[in-house]
Amino acid sequence: MLIKRGSRVAAIGVGVIIAAFASQPVLADFTNPSIPAWRGGPAAAFFAWESFTSPFGGANDPNYAGTDTGAALFNFTMGASITGAGNLFGAQSPLSVMVIGGLTNRVNEVVLNLSTLGTVINLDSVRLTLADNAGHNYTSIFHYTQLRSDVAAPSGQGQIQTRAFKWQLPAGGTEFNPTRFTVDFSSQTINMALDAVSLDFHYVPAPTAVALASLAGLVGTRRRRRA
């Protein structure tokens, strides 16, 4: 009987926490995110999520304004739920999130923005992997991180944060041509709501594009000298 009573109390407690988060108004997604100057350019890919539909195991497709297709976000923590605001919430276990997508060329810069409510991101868990179909892979923790916004959540429910992560690869990217990526991250503890996610990839310019740009500069210089 004591075990049953304890389980009931625990279940009620979890229900209260879920209800509290579900009743929160929709957050303003990101607050002061890190937006690279090359977003939207010809040598860039942009994937982002402002709401979620699958709490466990299923694919969440990008749905942020202006986002590209070709990526999906998964949570692999059982017991997670989707709040009334469309946030991914881990009440019973820390969230364990994986973003998977395709790439068309080498990349030399990656920027990740995360908007969260409640407990915070486990910084040690944030990792980027680039891979190809021949068994090559590149895995790295972030090179830089910045807390872009941090305010107390209502009713003592933790923090509302926007945090940016950046990977700066060599100018020519990896030694192999990656065809896919994986970005992993998790929350420190339970009771974190994931509000929004964005991922920006900057592609290494193709050799032909670089050559044409150099040729255009050379022609322009010669014309100015003749004039």
Q: What is the pLDDT of residue 208?
A: 53
- Residue 28 burial (CB count, 10 A): 12
SS3 10: helix
Q: What is the pLDDT of residue 3?
A: 26
Lowest average pLDDT, out of 32-41, 47-56, 144-153, 218-227, goes to 218-227
Give the pLDDT band of residue 15 (cuts 50, 70, 90). very low
Q: What is the pLDDT of residue 176?
A: 97
- Burial label for 17, CB within 10 Å (0-12, 13-18, 19+), is middle
DSSP state of 95: -
- Mean pLDDT for the stretch of residues 6-33: 51
Give the pLDDT band of residue 172 (cuts 50, 70, 90). very high
Q: What is the pLDDT of residue 30?
A: 95
Does residue 12 surpass a pLDDT of 50? no
Report the chain's mean pLDDT, rounded to a whole number: 85
Note the residue count of the chain: 227
Q: Buried b / exposed e across 86-113, counting CB within 10 Å, b at 16+?
A: bbbbbbbebbbbbbbbebebbbbbbbbb
- Mean pLDDT for the stretch of residues 179-202: 98
Span 115-170, pLDDT tens digits: 999 999 999 999 999 999 999 999 999 999 999 999 999 988 899 999 999 999 99
Does residue 105 surpass a pLDDT of 70? yes
Instruction: Output 4 or 28, whichever has higher pLDDT.
Output: 28
